[in-house]
Amino acid sequence: MTMSMYQASVPPMIRTLNNLVAIIDKAEAHCAARKIEPETLLRARLYPDMFPFLKQVQVVTDHAKGMAARLSGMEPPAYPDAEHSFADLKARIAKTIEFLKSRPADQIDAGETRDLSLTVTGIPMTLKGRDFMVNVAIPNFYFHVTTAYDILRHSGVEIGKRDYLGTKPA
């Protein structure tokens, strides 16, 4: 039995995005219980030259929607990066999940051998869809989800591995 491009990417990303919403809910509760301004966590970062939590979540959604769009032969939808609250981030994630759900599996699967031209960290490149998904989109998606989780955990939010992995199947 083989696994399709769609099966290997979209359902796990949707599950992880839903888990990220649950983690953000815990961050909100943490702020309320400890009388911490939400801005403190939204701007928190692990190191001065790393993105803050807010930007990590924006980048997570960018990689998810970018992958699904490019593999299905379209330009990724543009989001303005105008989020300033936990609620804004959850709305962005919800919009991303809806976009992922709107992409037909057969269109994403058809992107496996499509040539995709893009710029990654300032370097223009052309990759086959499969290579883009496996070597660029998925690793970047999970890197930024993990970093967002780590920022909150480092900031004292009581979350653990079960929160990251979730408890519901994709």
Q: Is residue 170 part of a domain?
A: no
Q: Is residue 121 part of a domain?
A: yes
Q: Is residue 111 part of a domain?
A: yes
Concatenating the DSSP letter of every residue in the chain gives ----HHHHHHHHHHHHHHHHHHHHHHHHHHHHHHT--HHHHHT--SSTTSPPHHHHHHHHHHHHHHHHHHHTTSPPPP------SHHHHHHHHHHHHHHHHHS-HHHHHHGGG-EEEEEETTEEEEEEHHHHIIIIIHHHHHHHHHHHHHHHHHTT----HHHHH-SS--
Given a cut of 90, whether residue 169 has pLDDT beyond it is: no
Q: Is residue 71 part of a domain?
A: yes
**CATH code of the domain covering residue 153:** 1.20.120.450
The count of other CB atoms within 10 Å of the CB of residue 93 is 22
What total number of domains does the chain contain?
Answer: 1
Average of per-residue pLDDT values in the chain: 95
User: pTM of the entire structure?
Assistant: 0.95
Q: Which of 134, 146, 154, 132 is nearest to 27 (CA)?
A: 154
The count of other CB atoms within 10 Å of the CB of residue 65 is 22
| Residue 26, token pair as written in the block | 């815990």
Q: Is residue 112 part of a domain?
A: yes
Domain with 86, as residue range(s), is 5-165
Sorting pLDDT into bands at 50, 70 and 90, what band is 170? low
Q: Region 142-149: what's the mean pLDDT?
A: 98
Determine contact, residues 4/109, Cβ cutoff 8 Å.
Answer: yes
Report the pLDDT value the prediction gives residue 32, as an integer from 0 to 100. 97
Given a cut of 80, whether residue 168 has pLDDT beyond it is: no
Q: Is residue 48 part of a domain?
A: yes
The count of other CB atoms within 10 Å of the CB of residue 131 is 15
